[in-house]
Structures are given as structure tokens and as C-alpha cells.
């Protein structure tokens, strides 16, 4: 990564896949907000979460958007924490209580979640869908022996439901809207907004934030301006995303407003990260010794430089990252 002396240019190679959580990244590039903030880079579609994280560690990309459960799983699996290329959080980027869903295919026969007993549920093998299903099934008393969980791809959910291979799926927008359009009243969407909040974070490498916090601040400034544009003109933002991701207008309509974008770091982020680590400990049947590292993997300085009021960590944690004794 080179820095030009005049414009303090960098080449951070932001990573993104066509997911609505990446909207601030996409808007920032399409509206030249990265360039406005003296950041030179390009968006790259890497693929899976695992591929994103590998590319980040290998310095192929420098910033990416991750679901918080995905970040927690990577943290829990890290055999040698504290390495220079380890991911660290710069800010919470957005949250939603109505982005991921449990959708059953059974029409009027589906009255409540107990209908799922004795049926097969398709759950993509990724941290956030697995956590949603774990939360949903636990809340409604669906024991592992009550429901057969099978791995599916979100793109295949409709065909798997239509073919009878599964009777319900864990999915997210715009796939939820596509299922509703395809199956109409036969698709029953269970509300999870009282159970689960999806959350996404902006992630970089430890070595980058330690060597160039200014670069991170400029990227955050560009994303902050992108969020302002999304809020000011959601229709334009939706059109930008649809063009980037190749979606039709029906998909775009389902996505508009699905995520509340906001750059912040506060205690709720730590609490939700702890919750996801506790779930992973339960899923893997062993403790996840990561809590002592939380102060090290959430870096507030770059955001505090751009928007001090958004870095809302009082007391020792905030003081520690601002260099206080």
C-alpha cells in the first residue's frame, strides 16, 4: 500500500459482495466519496465470508463488511490471537430486526412455529443464519430431535421448498421477498424481530489501523457521507445498488429501509459480540476465551477522529484507546 505525499493516497481495495449490508461501500464508490476523502481504491467481489477473511489477512483487501456473528466465529477460531493481520472492528455499520427470516412453505396449515416439528429446515451454513435458527428454535422450544436441519444455499431455497426437500428455510432479503412472490400465501414468514437483530461491522487488519489510523478515518468519513446520501435519497441508493448487484425493481423495493445504517461504537456492540461468542461456545461445546481480547479488537480512534459523538465508549475502554494511562 503506497501513500502519495500530496493527496495522502492509499489503495485499500475495499471488498464487497452483492449484499445490501454493503450499500454504504457501493454508494461511496459510485458517488466518488472515497475519492473526495483522498482514498483511492476499488470494490472487489470476493465471495464467501471465509474468502473475504482470507483475502483480508493476506492483504489482498484492506476493508470489508462482516456480519457480527461471522466476525465472532473468526475470533473464536483464531489459534494465535494478536497477530498483525488479524481482523479488528472499526465501527458498527448497520443493524436490522427485519432482514433475516424463517419462511415455511405450507399455506394455511402453518399456524405457529410448532408446525415445524417433524419437518426439514434449510439453514445456510454461515454464522448469522445458524445463530438466527438457534435463537428461534430455542425460543419456541424446538429441540434438535424435533427438526432436521439441512445445509442449503440461499439461492436454492425456492427450488428446495418447491421440490419438497425442505419445508422451511432461514433466509434474508431479497430472497425472502422472492419466496413470497413465487409462492404467495403458501409462504408463511415467521416474525423474528422480537428475537434477533442482525448487525454488521466494518473490519480491517490490526496492522493497518496501527500503521495508518488516518487511512481508516478517511474511509470512515467516506462511508459516513454515503450513509447521509442513503438517508437523503433512498430511491437513488436503491437504484445504485440494483445496478451494482443486478437486481430488479421488486428486489430493490423489498430492500429499501431493511437496514438502519449508522457508524457507531458503543457498549451495545460489545454486548452483542459477547452474546455471539456465548452462542459459539454452546454450539461447539467448549468455552470461547475471547472476552479478554474485546478491548483489543474494537478500535475506536479512527471513528472518534471523524465523529467523536459516534464513539460512545465511556470510562476505561474509551480512555485506553485514546492513550490515557
153-169 pLDDT, tens digit per residue, is 988 999 999 999 999 99
Closest by CA to 139, choosing from 120, 118, 113, is 113
Q: Write out the three cell numbers for 48.
A: 464467501
Mean pLDDT calculated for residue range 19-47: 88
Non-local CB neighbours of 183 within 8 Å, separated by 6+ positions? 105, 158, 161, 162
Question: What pTM was estimated for this model as a whole?
Answer: 0.88
268-300: pLDDT as tens digits: 999 999 999 989 888 877 766 655 577 788 999
Name the packing angle between helices 267-284 and 127-139 (round to 10°).
Answer: 80
The beta-strand segments (E) located in 113-255 are 120-122, 148-150, 168-172, 187-190, 198-205
Angle at 71 between CA 66 and CA 75, to 5 degrees: 160
List pLDDT tens digits, range 190-210: 989 999 999 999 999 999 999
Strand order in the sheet with 120-122: 148-150, 120-122, 168-172, 100-105, 187-190
User: Using 50, 70 and 90 to split pLDDT, how confident is the model at 247?
Assistant: confident
Provide the pLDDT confidence category of residue 263 given band limits of 50, 70 and 90: very high
Half-sphere exposure of 256 toward its Cβ, with a 13 Å CA cutoff?
17
CATH fit for domain 100-190, picks 1.10.10.1100, 3.40.190.10, 3.30.70.120, 3.40.50.300: 3.40.190.10
Examine the pLDDT at 318 and tell me if it is beyond 70: no
pLDDT of residue 81: 81
Residue 47: the pLDDT is 72
* Over residues 35-45, mean pLDDT: 84
Percent over 90 (pLDDT), the chain: 65
Res. 216: pLDDT tops 50: yes
Residue 249 corresponds to which cell in the numbers above? 425493481
Q: What is the pLDDT of residue 16?
A: 39
Q: How confident is the model at residue 316 (pLDDT cuts 50, 70, 90)?
A: very low
User: Which CATH fold topology does 20-97+197-321 show?
Assistant: D-Maltodextrin-Binding Protein; domain 2 (3.40.190)
| pLDDT confidence of residue 146 | 96
**pLDDT at position 17 over 60:** no
Question: Contact at 8 Å (CB) between 75 and 290?
Answer: yes
Q: How far apart (Å, rounded) are the C-alpha atoms in residues 13 and 39?
A: 10
| Distance between CA atoms of residues 108 and 153, nearest Å | 26
Q: What is the pLDDT of residue 18?
A: 65
Q: What is the dihedral of CA 233, 13, 100, 171, to 10 degrees?
A: 120
Domain ranges of the chain: 20-97+197-321, 100-190
Place of cell 470510562: 315
Q: How confident is the model at residue 71 (pLDDT cuts 50, 70, 90)?
A: very high
Amino acid at each position: 500500500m503506497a501513500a502519495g505525499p500530496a493527496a495522502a493516497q492509499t489503495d485499500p481495495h475495499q471488498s464487497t459482495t452483492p449484499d445490501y449490508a454493503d450499500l454504504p461501500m457501493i454508494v461511496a464508490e459510485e458517488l466518488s466519496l472515497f475519492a473526495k476523502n483522498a482514498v483511492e481504491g476499488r470494490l472487489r467481489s470476493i465471495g464467501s465470508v471465509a474468502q473475504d477473511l482470507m483475502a483480508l489477512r493476506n492483504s489482498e483487501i484492506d476493508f470489508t463488511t462482516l456480519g457480527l456473528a461471522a466476525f465472532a466465529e473468526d475470533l473464536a477460531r483464531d489459534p494465535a490471537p494478536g497477530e498483525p493481520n488479524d481482523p479488528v472492528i472499526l465501527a458498527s455499520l448497520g443493524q436490522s430486526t427485519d432482514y433475516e427470516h424463517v419462511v415455511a412453505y405450507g399455506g394455511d396449515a402453518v399456524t405457529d412455529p410448532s408446525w415445524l416439528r417433524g419437518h426439514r429446515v434449510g439453514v445456510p451454513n454461515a454464522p448469522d443464519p445458524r445463530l438466527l435458527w438457534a435463537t428461534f428454535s430455542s425460543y419456541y422450544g424446538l429441540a434438535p430431535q424435533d427438526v432436521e436441519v439441512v445445509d442449503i444455499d440461499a439461492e436454492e431455497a425456492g427450488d428446495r421448498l418447491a421440490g419438497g426437500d425442505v419445508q422451511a428455510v432461514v433466509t434474508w432479503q431479497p430472497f425472502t421477498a422472492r419466496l413470497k412472490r413465487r409462492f404467495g400465501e403458501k409462504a408463511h414468514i415467521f416474525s423474528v424481530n422480537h428475537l434477533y437483530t442482525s448487525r454488521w461491522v466494518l473490519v480491517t487488519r490490526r496492522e493497518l489501523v496501527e500503521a495508518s489510523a488516518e487511512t481508516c478515518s478517511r474511509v470512515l468519513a467516506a462511508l459516513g457521507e454515503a450513509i447521509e446520501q442513503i438517508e437523503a435519497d433512498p430511491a437513488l441508493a436503491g437504484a445504485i445498488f440494483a445496478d451494482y448487484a443486478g437486481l430488479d425493481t421488486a428486489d430493490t423495493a423489498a430492500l429499501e429501509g431493511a437496514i438502519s445504517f449508522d457508524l457507531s461504537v458503543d457498549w451495545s456492540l460489545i454486548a452483542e459480540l459477547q452474546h455471539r461468542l456465548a452462542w459459539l461456545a454452546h454450539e461447539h461445546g467448549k468455552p470461547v476465551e475471547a472476552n479478554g481480547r474485546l478491548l483489543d479488537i474494537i478500535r475506536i480512534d479512527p471513528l472518534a477522529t471523524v465523529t467523536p459523538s459516534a464513539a460512545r465508549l465511556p470510562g476505561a475502554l474509551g480512555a485506553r484507546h485514546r492513550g490515557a494511562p
